[in-house]
Structure 1
Amino acid sequence: MKKKPVIFCDFDGTVTESDNIIAIMKQFAPKEWIAIKDDILGQRISIRDGVAQLFQLLHSSQKEEIITYILKNIRFRKGFKEFVSWTEEMRIPLWIVSGGIDFFVYPSLKGLVQPEKIYCNRSDFTGERIEIIWPHTCDHRCQKDCGCCKVTILRQFDSTEIHRIVIGDSITDLQAAKMADQVFARDFLIEKCEEQQIPYYPFETFHDIRFALEQEEVFQLI
């Protein structure tokens, strides 16, 4: 049986040109956010703890200002919209698997990716500070406290039937890259893949990814 390709794509810094959580922190958070960010990237604290701490720096009263700012400034990586259309034409499932937050992920992808094809974290603005809700936490086999656990999500798909393609850029994509059949990486994820000897294809645009995939036998047989 030929395996069916399925794409699992990160959002922040991958679909978009920059990380939207970092953009929010730069614009609205006190300087304490920098040390928290460094602890996340250095794997001294879990992603879930780190992101929760970052948003606790922000007042819920800033909600509308934050949403307006981030949606105004989001920029898609070159070729993404065409890539989505291509996956639809080829009938290749495309899942957005993001450590980002619902208030900017869903509206950014409206009209491009159906909500049921998006995994991301959620937000609660009812308290004094912004609280992050975690609907996709780690299963019993993952001890990384990921927040949005990408390996747990990937395990919901039968690896004997699908060719798992992971596209990402950061530490949040590392564990998924370890279990993928094919990895497309940029930025910090390249550094981690090289460090841990995970095979990968580098990319700068989604045109690069599409071109590489079209050369693969698994796609030529579709």
Structure 2
Amino acid sequence: MTTTKKKIVFCDFDGTITVNDNIVAIIKHFKPAGWEQLVEKTISTEISIQEGVGSLFRLLPASMEKEVVEFGIQNAIIREGFAQFVQFCKDSDIEFYVTSGGIDFFVYPLLKSFGIPEDHIYCNKSDFTGEQIEILWPHSCDEHCHNHCGMCKPTIMRKFSTEQYERIIIGDSVTDFEGAKIADTVYSRSHLTEKCNELGIAHTEFQTFFDIIEAMKQKG
């Protein structure tokens, strides 16, 4: 029976918890040559997320670490209702995970004040020790996924069986497409809404996290 399943949330970061996409914002701000084509190819899924994001950051010299990190943190705006949603999940005994295609140098600092345990935050890592900024992929695809997601959301979700969990995904973009396909419930905006419409995946649109709290309360 579905009523006995424990709810678990997998929430995207860039463009979901934050109002804007931090990766795109960083690259747009520093404008390295060739960035526009790479962003287009990544969003259209012409190239994989791993290849796209890795290539974008490789356009920036590692010597710019300070400026890149500072901009990544200072530029971000947290979406309305996020703190309340984290509290709602705690109060409702809903497990909450951040599953982010974003990078550690801005994801961890921006989430620090919300009391989310670090082992509940999945994201990509960064290495500034070489000539260029290198992105590392500690949570890559398992044997069931061949999309080179970088930070593979379906792989994380599969750790929580469908027999025991109602898997809820919240997202907005290309990094959420594969996760939405295997989720029980999808809360979407932007590119993810378009993709769900295209693939016939049931979804609830949101603008703020207050919308999601309301929808989850109604669903029960």
- With the shorter chain as reference, the TM-score category is over 0.9
Tell me if 1:199 matches 2:183. no
Equivalence for 1:184: 187
Tell me if 1:29 matches 2:24. no
Task: Compute the displacement of 1:121 (Å).
Answer: 0.2
Task: Compute the displacement of 1:74 (Å).
Answer: 1.0
Rounded to whole Å, the distance in 1 between the matches of 2:148 and 2:73 is 28
Task: Compute the displacement of 1:159 (Å).
Answer: 1.1
Task: Compute the displacement of 1:19 (Å).
Answer: 0.3
- Out of 157, 162, 167, the position equivalent to 2:165 is 162
Equivalence for 1:46: 48
- Out of 17, 23, 31, the position equivalent to 1:15 is 17
Task: Compute the displacement of 1:209 (Å).
Answer: 0.2
Equivalence for 1:220: none
Rounded to whole Å, the distance in 2 between the matches of 1:153 and 1:186 is 21
SS in 2 for 1:98: strand
**What TM-score, normalized by structure 2, do the two folds share?**
0.97
Rounded to whole Å, the distance in 2 between the matches of 1:71 and 1:151 is 27
In structure 2, the gaps of 5 or more residues are none
- Out of 201, 205, 208, the position equivalent to 2:211 is 208
Tell me if 1:119 matches 2:122. yes
Rounded to whole Å, the distance in 2 between the matches of 1:203 and 1:31 is 35
SS in 2 for 1:61: helix
State the Cα RMSD in Å. 0.9
Tell me if 1:61 matches 2:48. no
- Out of 111, 131, 140, the position equivalent to 1:128 is 131
Task: Compute the displacement of 1:41 (Å).
Answer: 1.2
Rounded to whole Å, the distance in 1 between the matches of 2:34 and 2:202 is 36
Rounded to whole Å, the distance in 2 between the matches of 1:37 and 1:73 is 19
SS in 1 for 2:113: coil
SS in 2 for 1:111: helix
Letter in 1 for 2:215: A
Q: Which runs of 4 or more aligned residues in structure 1 lie more than 4 Å from their structure 2 counterparts after TM superposition?
A: none
In structure 1, the gaps of 5 or more residues are 218-222
SS in 1 for 2:13: coil
Task: Compute the displacement of 1:42 (Å).
Answer: 1.3
The answer to whether the 8 Å contact 2:33/2:59 transfers is no
Q: Deviations over 1:92-123 (max 9, x none)?
A: 11000000000000010003122111000000
Rounded to whole Å, the distance in 1 between the matches of 2:204 and 2:88 is 19
Rounded to whole Å, the distance in 2 between the matches of 1:29 and 1:141 is 36
